[in-house]
Amino acid sequence: MDRIIGIDYGRRRTGLAASDPLGIFASALDTVDSTKLIDYLKKYAEKERIIHFVIGYPVNMDGRPSEAQADVDRFLKVLGKAFPDIPVTLEDERFTSVLAHRAMIDGGMKYKDRRDKASVDKIAAAIILQGYLDRQNR
């Protein structure tokens, strides 16, 4: 089935989300060590057909590039070599961590569990992907 993958890339770990087959809803998928991300995506692509990547792009509040943008740019080159035929869309990722924390609180997640950064990363990836899906489905 066709899937769109949302990526909240980080230097150490990366949050992932996947769309439903109709491209309407995003669901948190996993958090992966960033050094193993391409291998993870290749294995995922053996089971599900990835048709698009949506990647959170770090921008400062004033619209200028953030420090983390260089890391994402390097990852984009590696991703492009590994998946040359799959299109990529960059999404502004400002506030996604704040929104992820809010979603965890609203969902009744315990404080101890909310401190798990891996959970925040995959929820942030789902928020990034859902924003993209919402605009595409308008």
Per-residue pLDDT for 92 more than 90? no
Q: Which residues pair with 14 in a beta bridge?
A: 32
> What would the DSSP string read from start to end of 37-78?
HHHHHHHHHHHSEEEEEEEEE-B-TTSSBPTTHHHHHHHHHH
Of 81, 74, 35, give the one whose Cα is nearest residue 55.
74
Q: Give the other-Cβ count within 10 Å of 73's Cβ.
A: 12
Number of separate domains in the chain? 1
Q: Which domain covers residue 58, as residue numbers?
A: 2-136
Q: What is the pLDDT of residues 15-53, one digit of tens each?
A: 999 999 999 999 999 999 999 999 999 999 999 999 999
* Single pTM value for the model: 0.86
**What sign does the dihedral 14-120-90-129 (CA atoms) show?**
positive
pLDDT tens digit string along 99-129?
555 655 566 656 565 555 657 788 889 999 9
Separation between Cα atoms, residue 84 and residue 98, nearest integer Å: 32
Cβ–Cβ under 8 Å, residues 115 and 78: no
Is residue 72 a contact partner of residue 55, using CB atoms and an 8 Å limit? yes
CATH code, 88? 3.30.420.140
